[in-house]
Amino acid sequence: MKRPGVQPPSLLGFSHNRRSAPAHDSRPLTQPLAAVVMAAGLGTRMKSATPKHLHPLLGRPLVAWVLDALRAVGPSRLVLISSPESAAELAASFPGVEVVVQEKPRGTGDAVAAARQALEGFEGDLLVLAGDTPLLTPEAIEELVDEHHREGAAVTLLSIEPEGRRPYGRIVRDEKGELAAIVEERDATPEQREIRELNASVYVFSAPDLWWALGEVGTGNAQGELYLTDTIARLVREGERAVVYRSQDPDVAEGVNTRADLALVASLLRKRILTAHMLAGVTVVDPGTTWIEADVQIDPDAVIQPFTVLRGRTVVRGEAEIGPHVVAIDAEIGQGATVGPFCYLRPGSVLAAGAKAGTFVEIKNAQIGERSKVPHLSYIGDAQIGEDTNIGAGAITANYREERFEEKQRTVIGSNVHTGSQNVFVPPVEIGDNAWTGAGSAITEDVPNGALAIARARQVNKEGYDDARQRND
């Protein structure tokens, strides 16, 4: 179809003039693919100083879930649309992603138009999606792109049909069942609001068709904004092919605008993560009370007890048992190790095979050797413990010496060591192999191999003390 030759300058500041698109049956089956992620929303409904797209979600920023799904698909270009306030932080958080600024929030169409200069000369297919849909999967994206190629369409969009109502655009079809338009909820008639098929806000455009259509649409809507969805109706009126691909999973389009939304998608993502671990051979005793972030690695035959939280890049090896009531952050838990109940492993904690961290134990930046045990009521920080060592109840590694308060020091405890209850190790101090320490000792000096160290005041009994106290009352 022949486009109009010259038109007045558009709202977006670029010409409407474009060469005609190839006919449906002459479009190539594959095209280069670029992606534009809209992340310029201010997130005012989050009521937070943190930009919406950088809010943490199961160990990753919200928009990182979308970017990770896209990277799995492998577009040649990846452009992130940002507000001026968030651009620097987004660029720093996601090196290698092209960050483009939308100067003013004038709608989704204006956001996409902001990427045009960055994509100058790109003539392939353009994947456009929102940055606040963390449930979107690489499989859903690939299915949409494949449908776009099969149909040779100018635009292909993803739709969903959820059970409940959503404030999303309605898919309006003509008498033949073909896509006629997308009507945003605020602009929809009562009849249109009853339509159950909704726009998932994930699109594949032929890039030249998109740029032309953006120059043809206006802002005559309830929001006074430039809607990306209006470009689809414009292309349809020009006789171009617009295809709808309905997802079998309505959750893929679940967006985040509030903290309640964030909690909802977190629960759905958490279920996905737990299911994947269980299908891979991990026992999760109670998924409803277990929280495992996306980057945690768990080997088959590990057992995760209720009320366990595994965060960051924690690694759990096979046959280890974690919980109940355990928190581990960036920790490594070895083969057959046991952790908990009521244990806190902070970053840098490493438990070797068969090691134990027991009840009310906190470990930070410390290595616990094979088969060594920290059974209960202890704090072990900035320390190294050898193999087959038993740490008595109430042990504390005091990480500072008074004269060197600005520096944390390390405690080194050898192999086959037995420490007494209520020991305090004042580093830097080293306990040799096969050594023993007496209960209640404050160990401030190195202990040789095989020695017994006792560092406590001598007990003194004052006979008749209670009688004397009563006489003085």
Burial category of 144 from C-beta neighbours within 10 Å (exposed 0-12, middle 13-18, buried 19 and up): buried
pLDDT tens readout for residues 231-266 = 998 998 899 999 999 998 989 989 899 999 999 999
Percentage above 90 pLDDT, the chain: 70
Give the model's pLDDT for residue 22.
37
Give the model's pLDDT for residue 106.
85
In angstroms, the Cα distances linking 237 to 187, 217, 232, 240, 241 are 19, 12, 9, 7, 10
Give the model's pLDDT for residue 163.
83
Q: Count CB atoms within 10 A of the CB of residue 120.
A: 7
Give the model's pLDDT for residue 183.
86
CA dihedral over 233, 235, 236, 237, signed as positive or negative: positive
Residues with a catalytic annotation lie at 376
Measured CA to CA, the distance from residue 331 to residue 337 in angstroms comes to 12
Give the model's pLDDT for residue 402.
54
Residue 280 dihedral angles phi and psi, to the nearest 5° = -90, 0
Of the pLDDT bands very low, low, confident and very high (cuts 50, 70, 90), residue 225 is confident
Give the model's pLDDT for residue 130.
94
Measured CA to CA, the distance from residue 26 to residue 17 in angstroms comes to 22
According to DSSP, residue 403 is labeled: G
Q: Which of the residue ranges 14-23, 147-156, 348-357, 410-419 would you say has the lowest mean pLDDT?
A: 14-23
Give the model's pLDDT for residue 431.
98
- Give the mean pLDDT of the chain: 89
**pLDDT above 60 (res 26):** no
Which of 118, 136, 122 lies closest to 73 in space, CA to CA?
A: 136
Domain residue extents for the chain: 24-253, 274-453
Measured CA to CA, the distance from residue 395 to residue 376 in angstroms comes to 9
CB contact set of 232 (below 8 Å; sequence gap of 6+): 155, 157, 179, 181, 182, 203, 213, 242
Of the pLDDT bands very low, low, confident and very high (cuts 50, 70, 90), residue 188 is confident
Give the model's pLDDT for residue 472.
83
pLDDT tens readout for residues 365-378 = 999 999 999 999 99
**pLDDT above 90 (res 178):** no
Place of tokens 């985040």: 256
**pLDDT above 90 (res 429):** yes
Mean local confidence (pLDDT), 290-296: 97
- By three-state DSSP, how is residue 312 classified? coil
Q: Which residue has the higher pLDDT, 407 or 243?
A: 243
Q: Which of the residue ranges 27-41, 255-269, 273-287 would you say has the lowest mean pLDDT?
A: 27-41
Give the model's pLDDT for residue 227.
85
CATH code for the structural domain at 24-253 = 3.90.550.10
Is 80:131 a contact under the CB 8 Å cutoff? yes
According to DSSP, residue 318 is labeled: T
**pLDDT above 80 (res 119):** yes
Give the model's pLDDT for residue 331.
98
Which of 110, 111, 103 lies closest to 131 in space, CA to CA?
A: 111
Give the model's pLDDT for residue 14.
31
Give the model's pLDDT for residue 400.
64
Q: Which of the residue ranges 7-16, 31-40, 64-73, 94-103 would you say has the lowest mean pLDDT?
A: 7-16
β-bridge partners, 309 = 291, 327
Tokens of 145: 């792109």
pLDDT tens readout for residues 194-211 = 898 998 999 999 999 999
Mean local confidence (pLDDT), 212-231: 81
Tokens of 49: 């100083």
Q: Does domain 274-453 have CATH number 2.160.10.10?
A: yes
Measured CA to CA, the distance from residue 321 to residue 340 in angstroms comes to 8
pLDDT tens readout for residues 137-146 = 999 999 999 9
